[in-house]
Structure 1
Amino acid sequence: MTTTKYLVDPELVAILNYIPASALTAESLAETRASAKKAVMASLASANVSQFSALSVSERFISGLEGEPNVRILVYLPTSVQGPLPTLLWIHGGGYVMGSADAEDLMVKSIVSNVGCAAVSVDYRLAPETPYPGPIEDCYAALKWIFTHANELGIDPQRIAVGGSSSGGGLAAALALLTRDRGEFSLAFQLLLAPMLDDRTCTLANPHPYTGEFIWTPEANRFGWTSLLGHEPGQSNVSPYAAAARAEHLEGLPATFINVGALDLFLEEDMEYARRLMRAGVSTELHVYPGAYHGFRMVANAQVTKAAERDQLAALRRAFDPSLLQASKS
Structure 2
Amino acid sequence: MPVGYLVTVLLFGACCLAALPRPRRISIKRYFLAVVINEIPHVAALLLLLSTALAWSQGDLAGPSGLILTSMAGIVLLGLAVLTRRGLHAAPTTDAVTREHGGIPRRDRVRRLLRPLLFPFPWRPRSVTRIGPLSYGEHKRQRLDVYRPKHPSAPGPVLVYFHGGGYFSGSNRREGRGLLHHLASRGWICISATYRLRPEAGFTDHLDDARAALRWAHEHAESYGGDPRLLVMAGSSAGAHLTSLCALTQDPAADPERPCVDAALCLYGYYGRYYGRDPDESPVSTPMSLDPGHAPPFFVVHGDHDSYAPVEDARALHRHLASRPENDAWYVELPGAQHGFDALSSWRTAATIDGIDAFLDRLGARGPTRTTR
Return closer, same or farther for 1:197/1:113 CA change in 2, 3 Å cut-off. same
Q: Pick the structure with greater CA Rg.
A: 2
How big is the shift at 1:242?
A: 2.7
How big is the shift at 1:240?
A: 5.7
Q: Could you say which residue in structure 2 is the equivalent of 1:166?
A: 237
Return closer, same or farther for 1:307/1:54 CA change in 2, 3 Å cut-off. closer
How big is the shift at 1:147?
A: 1.1
Counting only pairs closer than 5 Å after superposition, residues 141-290 of structure 1 correspond to structure 2 as: 141-180=212-251, 182-184=255-257, 185-199=259-273, 225-226=274-275, 232-233=276-277, 235-239=278-282, 242-247=285-290, 249-264=291-306, 265-280=309-324, 281-290=326-335
- 1: CA distance between counterparts of 2:190 and 2:18? 39
How big is the shift at 1:82?
A: 2.5
The alignment's TM-score, normalised by the length of structure 1, stands at 0.68
How big is the shift at 1:190?
A: 0.5
Answering whether residue 125 of structure 2 is matched by residue 54 of structure 1, we say no
Q: Deviations over 1:128-148 (max 9, x none)?
A: 221111111011111111112
Q: Is the CA contact 1:114–1:313 (under 8 Å) kept in the aligned structure 2?
A: no
Q: Is the CA contact 2:235–2:243 (under 8 Å) kept in the aligned structure 1?
A: yes
Q: Is the CA contact 1:89–1:143 (under 8 Å) kept in the aligned structure 2?
A: yes
- Local SS of the residue matching 1:191: strand
- 2: CA distance between counterparts of 1:135 and 1:116? 29
- 1: CA distance between counterparts of 2:136 and 2:236? 23
Return closer, same or farther for 1:102/1:153 CA change in 2, 3 Å cut-off. same
Counting only pairs closer than 5 Å after superposition, residues 9-24 of structure 1 correspond to structure 2 as: 12=38
Answering whether residue 137 of structure 2 is matched by residue 94 of structure 1, we say no
Answering whether residue 357 of structure 2 is matched by residue 313 of structure 1, we say yes
How big is the shift at 1:157?
A: 2.4
- 2: CA distance between counterparts of 1:73 and 1:326? 24
CA RMSD of aligned residues (A): 3.2
Return closer, same or farther for 1:58/1:237 CA change in 2, 3 Å cut-off. same
Return closer, same or farther for 1:52/1:165 CA change in 2, 3 Å cut-off. farther
Q: Is the CA contact 2:147–2:181 (under 8 Å) kept in the aligned structure 1?
A: no
What amino acid is the match of 2:182?
Answer: I
Structure 1, unmatched stretches of 5+, are 18-45, 200-224, 227-231
Between Structure 1 and Structure 2, how many residues are aligned? 260
- Local SS of the residue matching 1:76: strand
What amino acid is the match of 1:315?
Answer: F
Return closer, same or farther for 1:47/1:273 CA change in 2, 3 Å cut-off. closer
Q: Structure with the greater relative contact order (CA < 8 A, sep ≥ 6): 1 or 2?
A: 2
- 2: CA distance between counterparts of 1:47 and 1:193? 17
- Local SS of the residue matching 1:141: helix
